[in-house]
Structure 1
Amino acid sequence: MTPPLFISWKRYQRRSDVLAEALGAEMVWRPHRAKGKLLRPGDYLAHARQDLARIRAERPRYVIAQTQPHFTALAPHLAGVPYVVDAHNGQFQSWWRRVPGTEQVLRGARLVLTHNREADRIARAAFPGLRTLVVHDPLREIPPASPRDWVFIVATAAPDEPMDVLIDAIEALPDVGFATTAPLHKLPEPLRERAARLPNLRTLGFLDLPDYEAALAGSRAVVVLTDREGCQPSGACEALSAGRPLVLSRTSTTEELFGSFATLVPNESVALAAGIREALDEDPTRAARIAAAQTAWTARTAAELAELASALPAEVAP
């Protein structure tokens, strides 16, 4: 029986990458080829066929499927192979939870992984009795890099990211350089035009993982914004992995997970600009607070992974 597979219908997602590594699973990336969302079902069908053929041929011990969409778990579900769903927030906080077949796929899983206590509560409220387990993003060290004279913005222009607040704050800090890999072309036209005119914002485009990590690790500080409760932003975990000062939207979840070392701000431009200034100031306690947060996070995640491993099929000796 072959090692487990971790399936993600993404080009890249850090949580999937580090979680697969921690579990000894082989990562299977299936980026979309369709340019528009109306053509996305064709991608889903092609991906599902590829996954089903591979699972039937290899018969892995189990499969981990990143959702949404829940269609990533259809192949192991149909093949009768044990599977775990790694459910991202959109699975329970968007229309995806109402798509036909969702409940059947989720309840067919050995476990549904949620990312924090609030996300777990939301999942259980959406599907009472669902078998869930909280597993926070495992940390994987991002090594130090050559200093860059910028504040690095981790963003994807997703609906939960208040990009208007971010653009306002960058405009209010003309003496501070910023850089991002965010696809700013996805922004609404007025906001996109404002972003394009900012002399202190550098758009880096898509970067390979080593270049991305160097851009983040060499930054003066990292900014991550969200207005979604229960969201454990990957960018915040990246900042912690790299030991960088972090400016982060304040929610009950981010306060619980990152409040010991991050500068937490409401999603308001004035507050964000002030928070960035604060993160750029020298703080003699910051390094120790980040180190303590890294140690506590690693210990908690190790315990969660051990609990997950105990629920998965054991490797059969030859």
Structure 2
Amino acid sequence: MIKKKERLIFISWTPQGRHTELFAKALSADLFFIPKNFTKTYGILLIIDYLLKTIKTCSIILKYRPTIVFVQNPPSFLPIIVVALSKIIKFKTAIDTHNGAFENPWIKIPLHKWSLKNADIVTIHNEILHQNLLSTGKFNGINFLVINSRLSDSLEVSNRNFENYFLIISSFSSDEPIQILLEGIELFLKNNSSFKFKVTGNYVRQIQIYKRFKTTKGIEFLGFIDDIYYLQLLSNAFGAISVSRRDDVQQFSLMECIGLGVPFISNLNKTNQLLFHNKMPLFELKPMDIANCISDFIKRKNELNENIYTLKSELLIKWEIDFNNLLSKLKINE
């Protein structure tokens, strides 16, 4: 627990974020989400939106006079503003950086690298990403710290009633191979009609996928759902599935599964292998391999129920070590 002699705040230019909420809670930081000011932001509206967010961010810092400010990155403008302000009124800065911040368009923002190099610490979420960034030679001089996402508290969801469905956790973003996943599920369903697959996420982002599979018996598209309903669905699922084309991303959805004690399936990549080391089934991104992996998951369910709690124990220990390292580097509670 953070002692109150330190005044920590956490700022995010997003409407919400479970990862940020859990991180801020661990830090005992006051959390401020600053959402868009307009429904659509482009052209002059984008400039005005960022200007209003900048004013709001500065007013929060000036009002609360924190000793340490954590910010979520991207968008990359937020850490630039906060690090620049820290040079004037003197406070420590920590940038909680997600994979997208190292890719276009955010990595091209002027002064972005300057903010990373001038922050007191830059947290990233898995060791594979860390290795990849260092190998490029473009991020020398940045004080990186690897810290996995904090696990959800399984006590947050009660009245669990496990049912015969898999929850497909998706946002329908371009780095999620949802069509390949659904093709594999379709193959599985040809010989297994007792399970259903509930797909979360705004499918309008890839409407052609929705049109292709909307009539497939056993597949149900839920669209965007709120956090309470999502956690209820996840905690009561027979299992969960989440996929990413990225090799160096820690999928927060899988950390939510571990926190809630729900076994899951994902695709085979370096990060998943490093974190889950054969305790959860991982598949190649091929429809037949996906179908076979789901069948294997069902056969191994009792074993996987045990494995998920072993994983939870291991990752909680790792979190505590990394988190205490973060506190030490920022001289919190000293």
- TM-score w.r.t. structure 1 length? 0.91
Equivalent residue in structure 2 for 1:179, among 167, 178, 198? 198
Q: Which residue does 2:327 correspond to in 1?
A: 309
| Residues 83 and 163 of structure 1: CA distance in aligned 2, closer, same or farther (over 3 Å) | same
C-alpha distance in 1, partners of 2:298/2:14?
33
**2:253 counterpart residue number:** 235
Question: For 1:34-57, what per-residue CA distance to the aligned partner results, in whole angstroms no more than 9, with x for missing partners?
Answer: 444635444333222211111111
Structure 1 gaps, min length 5: none
Tell me if structure 2 keeps the 8 A contact 1:48–1:74. Answer: no
Distance, in Å, in 2 between the alignment partners of 1:63 and 1:154 is 31
Distance in 2 of aligned mates of 1:288 and 1:257: 16
Would you say the 8 A contact 2:6–2:332 is kept in 1? no
Q: Take 1:29 and 1:20, find their aligned partners in 2: how far apart are those partners?
A: 11
Q: What letter is aligned with 2:327?
A: A
Matches for 1:291-302 after TM superposition, within 5 Å: 291-302=309-320
CA distance in 1, matches of 2:38, 2:131: 34
2:123 maps to which residue?
113
Q: Are 2:164 and 1:152 aligned?
A: no
Offset at residue 282 of structure 1 (A): 4.2
Is 1:15 the counterpart of 2:29? The answer is: no
- The one of 53, 59, 65 equivalent to 1:59 is 65
Q: Secondary structure at the match of 1:204?
A: strand
Residue 267 (structure 2) pairs with residue 249 (structure 1): yes
* 1-structure distance, mates of 2:184, 2:17: 27
Give 2:177's aligned residue: 162
State the one-letter code of the partner of 2:180.
Answer: V
Match of 1:138 among 150, 161, 180: 150
User: One-letter code of the match for 2:23?
Assistant: L
* Bigger shift: residues 229-238 or 251-260: 251-260
Does the 8 A contact of 2:152 with 2:255 survive in 1?
no
Aligned-CA RMSD value = 2.1
Cα deviation, residue 87, structure 1: 0.7
Q: Partners in 1 of 2:41 and 2:217 — Cα distance?
A: 32
- Rounded to whole Å, the distance in 2 between the matches of 1:280 and 1:10 is 37
Query: 1:24 maps to which residue?
Result: 28
Q: Give distance in 1, aligned partners of 2:269 and 2:284.
A: 8
Identity of aligned residues (%): 22
Distance 1:206 1:299 in 2: 33
Note if 1:280 corresponds to 2:298.
Answer: yes
Q: Does 1:79 align with 2:97?
A: no
AA in 1 matched with 2:227: L
CA distance in 2, matches of 1:191, 1:307: 44
CA distance in 2, matches of 1:309, 1:214: 33
What SS does the aligned partner of 2:241 have?
strand
Deviations 1:207-237 (A, max 9, x none): 3323211110101111010111210000110
Report if the CA contact (8 A) 1:225-1:267 is conserved: no
Q: State the SS of the aligned residue for 1:51.
A: helix
8 Å Cα contact 1:56/1:79 also seen in 2? no
SS at match of 1:121: helix
Cα deviation, 1:167-213, whole Å, max 9, x if unaligned, reads 212322332311132110000x4323113333422233333323211
| Runs of 4+ residues over 6 Å off in structure 1 | none
Alpha-carbon spacing, 1:190–1:287, altered in 2? closer, same or farther (3 Å): closer
SS in structure 1 at match of 2:168: strand
Q: CA deviation at 1:10?
A: 2.2
Query: Which moves more between the two structures, 141-150 or 31-40?
Result: 31-40
Give the count of matched residue pairs.
315
For structure 2, which runs of at least 5 residues remain unmatched after alignment?
A: none
Tell me the distance in 2 between the aligned counterparts of 1:77 and 1:109. Answer: 6
**Whole-angstrom CA distance in 2 between matches of 1:110 and 1:236:** 29
Q: Does the CA-based 8 Å contact 1:167-1:194 persist in structure 2?
A: no
